[in-house]
Every structure is written in structure tokens, then in C-alpha cells.
Structure 1
Amino acid sequence: MSQKMRVLFLCTGNSCRSQMAEGFARALRSPEIEPWSAGIMKHGMNPRAVKAMAEAGVDISGQTSKTVDELPVKEFDFVVTLCDHAKEHCPILPGAGRIMHAQFDDPPSLAAGASSEEEVMGHYRRVRDEIKAFVMNFPPAG
């Protein structure tokens, strides 16, 4: 039996994108992936991210926002940065096998100018679906 890939999904605040990626990897890829998520800093769980994931059938309400320093695990086969800020400020992780970047829009930033809750959630759903597609096709070939 082969060992699971240990993957860290890293974004700025570990409140939305990285939490979604961890949730999808845990729910849909658990036979192959041991997922973790963290942020450069921690902003707390974003309730709209929790809601968007629940709509997709994945419960991330028990996950917590954390920094890399708070992770009990320090060695990863992959570290995936999910935003430019995390890519530029990615901490040095001596136990990282491969670091890769996958850019996703920040739902809270997109939603800042929305005129209704439905429009706000539309941004979260779009990014959620993009992250799901990424996780389902992870790791990329090459």
C-alpha cells in the first residue's frame, strides 16, 4: 500500500481558499492525500467559505485557522500556495518536497463591492468550484 501524499495548502489568512482546498482534499481525495492548510497569518474561519462548502456537501466548520508554525506536521510532499501573497511570503519549509503555485481569486476581496448577499456568495461559489477542480486534478502532470 502506497503512502499518502502529504499536501499543505497555503494562503494569506487560512480563512477561505486554503480551508476550501483542505476540505475538498479530505472529502474527495483522502485515499491519496493527507491534506493540511495554513496561512502566512491567521484570520479565523470565514463563515461564507464554510457556507459555500456546505452547499457543496463538504463540512469545514470543524477546521481551524492556523499559521505554518502551529502545524503539528512539518514535512510535506507538496506545498501549494493559493495566492500571490502566500507565494511571495512563503516561509522556508525545510521538509517541503515540491513547492508549487496555483492562483485563486480572494472571495472576500471580490465580494467587497457586491450589492447583495447572493452576489457575494456567487464569488465564493465560483472560487470554491475552481478549487474543487484543482484538487480533483492534483497533482498536475509534469
Structure 2
Amino acid sequence: MSYNVLFLCTGNSARSIMAEALLGVLGKGRFIAYSAGSYPSGKVQPLAADLATKLGYPPDRLRSKSWDEYAAPGAPKMDFIITVCDNAAGEVCPIWPGQPVSAHWGVADPAAVVGSEDDRRAAFRDAFTILRRRVERLLALPIDKLDRLARERELHAIGATSE
């Protein structure tokens, strides 16, 4: 059995894209990863795209899109909704069919870092590393053996960890 996971962020240009790529590759079919934004920027940050493709994620899957795409009839039913930015966590989300388990995994926005190219690259690598550790913790869970409340508790605990 595979589980559908939607990562949300406001712009869907960096953190949610990287989380989608990480789970998409590391989940090895056990999880199907998606990402979207409440106010998508329409473009993927080049440094996020670079990290995702180096991991092995297909470049044609990297696109900034609205969360409305996944709330529409005929969209894949999500099992988990995970916000990765504080703005998206506080927004009123669409009503997701099937009442997926939701959690917040806040990560500082690497796209907001101002400075040298090295500073910017370091910020993206740091965010990527935090997201990778959280995805690995998700992958270590016996999801199929946990009830809904236990799944939610475990997902919240992953987001509450300090890296």
C-alpha cells in the first residue's frame, strides 16, 4: 500500500518542493509525494531544483502549483497534509477529501536569505538537511500499524524536533 502526502507552503517554490522530492525519492513507492502552495510563485527556486534533481527526482515533476489542484474533484486523495512554512500553517486550507492526517514541520525559508551565493546555497542545504531528517523519521514509522491518532501524534512529534 502507498500513501499520498501533500507538502504545503505559501509559494511552493523551495521547502515544499524539496520535501516532495525527498519523499518522492526516499519513499521508494511506499509514499507518493506532492507539493503545492496557497499563493504559488509560479516558479521553482533554482537552488531547490538543483538539490532535488541531484537527489534523483525527475526535473519534469518540479513545478510551482496551487493547492486548489489537490482539492479539486478527481485529484488524488491525500493521506497526509504537511505544512513546511509557518505562513501556510496559519492559513485556512481547503477541505481535503477523506480527512487526511495533518501536521506542521516548520522550516526557515532559505529563499529569504540575503547574502552571498555561498550564504544562499548554505541556507538551501540546511533546509534540505532538516527536511531529509524529518522525511527519514516518517519513513521509519510503521504507518500501516498506527491508527489515525497515533499517526497524527507521530507526525507532530517529527515536526517538533529541533535539528
CA distance 1:58–1:28, change in 2 (3 Å): same
Contact 1:50 1:60 in 2 (8 A): no
2:146 paired residue number: none
Which is strand-richer, 1 or 2? 1
Which is helix-richer, 1 or 2? 2
CA RMSD of superposed structures (Å):
1.9
Q: How many pairs were matched up?
A: 136
Q: Deviations over 1:43-92 (max 9, x none)?
A: 1111111123345x334532111011123625211100111111111413
Contact 1:7 1:33 in 2 (8 A): yes
Structure 2 residue corresponding to 1:83, chosen from 82, 85, 103: 85
Contact 2:11 2:39 in 1 (8 A): yes
The gaps in structure 2 that reach 5 residues or longer are 142-150, 155-163
**Alpha-carbon distance between aligned partners in 2 of 1:52 and 1:36, rounded to the nearest angstrom:** 17
2:35 paired residue number: 37
CA distance 1:41–1:108, change in 2 (3 Å): same
**Alpha-carbon distance between aligned partners in 2 of 1:123 and 1:104, rounded to the nearest angstrom:** 11
Letter in 1 for 2:75: V
Give secondary structure in 1 for the equivalent of 2:5.
Answer: strand
Letter in 1 for 2:103: M
Contact 2:68 2:94 in 1 (8 A): no
Give secondary structure in 2 for the equivalent of 1:75.
Answer: coil
- Counting only pairs closer than 5 Å after superposition, residues 1-142 of structure 1 correspond to structure 2 as 3-43=1-41, 44-55=43-54, 57-59=55-57, 61-62=59-60, 63-71=62-70, 73-95=75-97, 96-109=99-112, 111-112=113-114, 114=115, 116-138=116-138, 142=154
Identity of counterpart residues, as a percentage? 27
CA distance 1:137–1:19, change in 2 (3 Å): same
Give secondary structure in 2 for the equivalent of 1:130.
Answer: helix
